[in-house]
Amino acid sequence: MIIGLTGRNGSGKSTVAEFLIHRGFQYYSLSDIIREILSKEGKEFSRENLIETGNSLRSTMGAAVLAEKTVEKLMPDRNYVIDSIRNPSEVERLRKVKGFKLIRVEAPTRVRFERCKSRNREKADQDLDSFKKLEKKELKSPDPVSQQLEKTGKMADYILRNSGSLETLHEQVIEILKEVTKKIFRPGWDEYFMNIARVVAQRSNCVKRHVAAVIVRDNRIISTGYNGTPRGIKNCNEGGCPRCNSFGVSGENLGECLCSHAEENAITQAAYHGVSIRDATLYTTFSPCLICTKMIINSGIREVVYDSRYSLNALELQLLKEAGISVRALREHRDFPDPSAGR
């Protein structure tokens, strides 16, 4: 879950964030990026300086810059709470991250004023009129890169009304979390295993292209492989394969390539460790070549799922279909533009 918080100053966003932190959420505030800049410039953390510096940063680096810098820090295996979201572009950027939901925290103006005054944070205004005047700068502006709390608030998925007791506020947060957990994204098995294959591909030592294959049976991974030079041979990226390191035209002199393909390595790894792959499914980041196709057939694999089309032409398809092997493209639109190009 990634819970975003927006709302007017003193509405209780920090209180909600603290509640979530105590329940295992990792905390980020978009304002912290602005505070880092003010600190380097030797400026005080006044509310006015925060507003002006934030607007200036959005103006020079784009309206979503604060969200972009925060997204770079996020990991897919954790829950987060992100505070101080004040521009619609920030919401739009964060919505691209799976699991993001925006909460707007509300409270009456005088209540918010008294809260800010009591905590005396960021040189809080000492009278209500000044508080309201400065707040207008945050609510809306003709400049799209400035703070746009009004428009941002309208994009909220949930609203928390923080005008009662702390217990009531916490109860509202729990109810929202219960709703959000019902919508948590879980990848399907195909996407899950293909994502793992993409990670495995990072181990490839081939200088031409990184490819990986994962062999699965009963939704369990039983073997993996990536393309590169054979066991005990100098890695391709270290000069082990003269053909690849010559960076010649794709598809030429394939008989001189010393690199084994990902599917080939996944199958031979299973054999090396004595693991049967009969009736298994092979996930590969690129569709198999003719040699790998023949190995797939003879190994007893019953299904091939590929991410991008590489060299799957009529002959490979014909052989796989004739052998009774199912072939599926995970996403047809990701097909490689030149199916005849060699690896």
Q: How far apart are CA 301 and CA 218, in angstroms?
A: 13
Cβ-defined contacts of 327-332 (< 8 Å, 24+)? 327/303, 328/190, 328/303, 328/304, 329/287, 329/305, 330/190, 330/191, 330/194, 330/305, 330/306, 331/307
- Residue 339: C-alpha distances to residues 26, 283, 284, 287, 343 (Å): 45, 18, 15, 10, 10
Of 220, 334, 213, 219, nearest to 282 by C-alpha is: 213
- Residues catalogued as catalytic: 263
Q: Are strands 2-7 and 80-83 parallel, antiparallel or unpaired?
A: parallel
Coil vs helix vs strand at 5: strand
